[in-house]
Amino acid sequence: MELAGRKAVVTGAASGIGRAVAVRFAAEGAELALLDREPAGLEETATAIEEAGGRAHPVIADLGEEPAAVAAMARAIAALGGIDILVTSAGIGLQKRLLDHDLGDFSRIFSVNLFGLFVCLREAGKAMRAAGRGGRIVNIASVAGLRGATGRAAYGASKAAVVNLTQTAAVELADHDITVNAVAPGPIDTPLVEAMHTEATREAWKRALPLARYGEPGDVAAAALYLAGDGARFVTGHVLVVDGGYIAAGIRFALD
């Protein structure tokens, strides 16, 4: 098992990608602390892990508030008795014309996608530094942080900031043998996407993707597992796209 004996904190673990990461990491032998603001979803994830023979500690918290996020990380690390891995998947979306955005939109999106992620990263980094055993941090960014797209002013900017924060954290935390990487998913079928993507949006995405289909949460979990595992010990500051070829593609047309 790839993560036998490791202690992992996963944020956004009540749903979608965070849940898939937590379940996969548990199946690979990690003990999990699960952070989210949704108690029912957290319980479902914890039950799924425990029924499969794993160990999970749910911690309910709004990670968009600094004191709450600090307290939640402390509870998670105490419940696990340490931390080897952090995966930051808690996030919220927004699809709205740029000219209709206001600073409230930016503030709401940034408070979770960037500020909450930063606080969890900082707290994990401090605990890993104190323990002196190194560590792994995997941030869930987005292709929206690497390319422009319709309706993504605040969301895309928050994810672009996550990409840069990942690189800066990789540089600074290398002294403590802590690697920091990001996964940038393309469209993945999760509750967040179901709520935001109309049929027209789904068709547009499929046309833009060489693989012409949405990904599954497990596709992102597999990438996070690679970055958290021994095989990636010399990889840091990297952004791994899991996107059906979206970033690779420019113009595409039929050849006769």
Ligand X SMILES: NC(=O)c1ccc[n+]([C@@H]2O[C@H](COP(=O)([O-])OP(=O)(O)OC[C@H]3O[C@@H](n4cnc5c(N)ncnc54)[C@H](O)[C@@H]3O)[C@@H](O)[C@H]2O)c1
Please give the residue ranges that form the binding site for ligand X (CB under 6 A): 12, 14-18, 36-38, 41, 62-64, 89-92, 112, 116, 140, 142, 185, 187-188, 190-193
Lookup result for tokens 């403590």: 176
Specify whether 159 is catalytic: yes
| Candidate list 7, 126, 159, 246, residue with the active-site label | 159
Determine whether 155 is an active site residue.
yes
Question: Shortest distance, CB of residue 59 to ligand X, whole angstroms?
Answer: 10
The least CB distance from residue 201 to ligand X, in Å, is: 11
Closest CB to ligand X among residues 190, 236? 190
Identify each DSSP E strand in the chain by its residue range.
7-11, 31-36, 56-60, 85-88, 135-140, 178-185, 239-242
Nearest distance in Å: CB 57, ligand X: 15
Closer residue to ligand X, CB minimum distance, 139 or 236: 139
Shortest reach from residue 62's CB to ligand X, in Å:
5
Q: Which is nearer to ligand X, 62 or 177 (CB)?
A: 62
Query: Would you say 30 and 6 are in contact if contact means Cβ atoms under 8 Å apart?
Result: yes
Bridge partner residues of 7 (DSSP): 31
CB of 73 to ligand X, least distance (A): 12
**What is the 3-class SS of 179-211, one letter each residue?**
EEEEEEECCECCHHHHHHCCHHHHHHHHHHCCC
* Cα–Cα distance, 203 to 93 (Å, whole number): 19
Q: Which is nearer to ligand X, 14 or 169 (CB)?
A: 14
The one-letter code for the residue type at 158 is S
Amino acid occupying residue 98: L
Interatomic CA distance for residues 230 and 246, integer angstroms: 28
Instruction: Give the gyration radius of the chain's Cα atoms.
Output: 18
Closest to ligand X by CB, 16 vs 58, is 16
Choose, from 7, 155, 214, 246, the residue flagged as catalytic: 155
Neighbour-count burial of 51, counting CB atoms closer than 10 A to its CB (0-12 exposed, 13-18 middle, 19+ buried): exposed
Residue 250 in tokens: 């420019």
Active site residues: 155, 159
